[in-house]
Amino acid sequence: MWGCGKFNDYIVGLTVNIETDHKPLVPIFMHKALDGLSPRLQKMKLKMIRYSYQVQYIPGKDLVIADALSRSPIEGREDEELLEEITAYIQMVIATLPATDKRLSEILQAQQEDEVCIQLD
């Protein structure tokens, strides 16, 4: 849940696979109706309702990166270094999009004519 909030801008509108080593979460997030859950679980499920996801159980011994998102971030990272990483990630995502060059040029032209996008530039 924390990871979805952290990467909200990147995953909204996409179907993501959530891997957990806590087996009871699978039916809670995949099948149970809100009225059959405790208030605490209802709140968790309501926070996740904006996302399209599949929850999959992976035993803890096979979930090799279980703690990666919850570990403390490295302190003192430069904004420029972070910007470079984000730019590289965005370029990688764009490169894997199933869009033709024509469609990408249409999107670029629409962005150049859009008032909000012009202000962001």
Please state, in angstroms and rounded to a whole number, the distance separating the CA atoms of residues 91 and 97.
10
pTM for this model (two decimals): 0.50
The mean of the pLDDT values for the chain is: 82
Residues 29 and 9 in one domain: yes
Residues 98 and 39 in one domain: no
121 or 32: which carries more pLDDT confidence? 32
Residues 2 and 58 in one domain: yes
Q: Looking at this protein, which amino acid is placed at residue 111?
A: Q
Residues 92 and 51 in one domain: no
Segment 17-26, tens digit of pLDDT: 888 888 998 9
Please state, in angstroms and rounded to a whole number, the distance separating the CA atoms of residues 56 and 120.
38
Number of domains composing the chain = 2
Residues 53 and 94 in one domain: no
Look at residue 72 and tell me whether its pLDDT is greater than 70: no
- Among 45-49, 88-92, 113-117, name the one with the lowest average pLDDT: 88-92
Q: How many CB atoms lie within 10 A of CB 16?
A: 15
